[in-house]
Amino acid sequence: MASDQITVATFNVSMESENYLARGVAGSPQVLSTLLAEGQHPQIKNVAAIIQQTQPDILLLNEFDYIEDPAAGVELFIRNYLNKAQSADGKTIDYPYFYYSTVNTGQPSGFDLDNDGQLTNKGADAWGFGQYPGQYGMMLLSKYPINTSKIRTFQYFKWKDMPGALQTAKTDGSPWYSADAWQLMPLSSKSHWDVPVLVNKKSVHLLISHPTPPVFDGEEDRNGKRNHDEVRFWTDYLSPEKAGYIYDDRGQKGGLAEEKRFVVLGDLNSSPVEGNAYKEGIGNLLMHPRVNSSFTPQSTGGKAHSPDSPYGATHTAGWRMRADYVLPSKAGFRVVSSGVFWPAKGQPFYELVADRAASSDHRMVWVKLKLTK
């Protein structure tokens, strides 16, 4: 592929079995693998239709359950859904490259992390909230080769090793997490990935994560603090003067060199102007001197969905907030265009986003970039 323009997108597809794909059925990765093999699930077909209409060259999918056998995951999704036209216009799409790996959600911790007096080893007692290992996983699809030997993952980076980590306390002032749990607690509720993709021999680092929602806790705000520090990780990773403490799952230390081009993408579950997250975490990332936040992807559907909000056009979720981000580096790119796939009622393909059951409670965010230098 010789084009010097690429479209990079992120999409929380809600393809996790417990809440969306098979309501009322005990969740497990086998639910998703079965539906991918059958190729007929209406929600997944609509997700595929959105991808086909937008045609991203590089696409991150959040909340795509991790399935240990990639043939029962990525390949079936591509063959049975993306390679088959889901709309009358006949559009299809293919991705010859992908990255798909383990996450912390649903991984048993061995500790009563929510302090409810019961050790379940799932849900809020897992290292990342999930009813089974791999729930709410992440998957990267690419039309360009992935430099697999240079991928860095930070799934096992310990939260305690982040300087100034926002530790949580009980109402009596004692630590929320036991000393043993805090020593082992990972920062990432899913994972943090640095995945280099080679676009016409030029490396583009994709900085991928899906921080925990800053809610579903109590006055201790343990999820809000974790969300802040998960987002803050990328701010430090992009700052050589701060990144010395960071180590990846292979033991390599440090952040991303200053001359590298990158795109931060994922469902970050935070907004600098709305919602319950600590505004400093996402605000500092948006204001980072290496990040181009001079534009904000928008949609007519988001504006129509929240007509009384001054930020409605920038919302990326049906629950009225900007939660999903595609943030390119200032170096190495020129922004051509951007948007959120959210047609308003009466516009083509509105049925794909008409309600949360149609495809997802999130919308795809995309940015078209021209590589420079």
| Residue 25 predicted with pLDDT over 80 | no
Which pLDDT tens digit goes with each residue over 78-100?
999 999 999 999 999 999 999 99
Residues 6+ apart with CB under 8 A from 284: 232, 235
CA distance 175 to 177: 6
What pLDDT shows up at residue 20?
64
Q: How many CA atoms lie within 13 A of 367 on its CB side?
A: 25
What pLDDT shows up at residue 360?
95
- The residue segments making up the domain with residue 161 are 5-371
What pLDDT shows up at residue 141?
98
Which residues, listed in sequence order, are joined to residue 143 by a DSSP beta bridge? none
| Residue 24 predicted with pLDDT over 70 | no
Q: Which two tokens stand for residue 240?
A: 């050589």
* Least confident interval from 1-10, 291-300, 321-330, 340-349: 1-10
Quick one: pLDDT band at residue 3, thresholds 50, 70, 90?
Answer: confident
What pLDDT shows up at residue 72?
83
What pLDDT shows up at residue 1?
55
Which pLDDT tens digit goes with each residue over 111-132?
999 999 999 999 999 999 999 9
**Could you give the number of structural domains in the chain?**
1
| Residue 258 predicted with pLDDT over 60 | yes
Quick one: pLDDT band at residue 22, thresholds 50, 70, 90?
Answer: low
What pLDDT shows up at residue 16?
83
What pLDDT shows up at residue 27?
67
CA 94 to chain centre: 21
CA distance 176 to 15: 32
What pLDDT shows up at residue 154?
98
CATH of the domain at 137: 3.60.10.10
Residues 6+ apart with CB under 8 A from 24: none
Quick one: pLDDT band at residue 68, thresholds 50, 70, 90?
Answer: confident
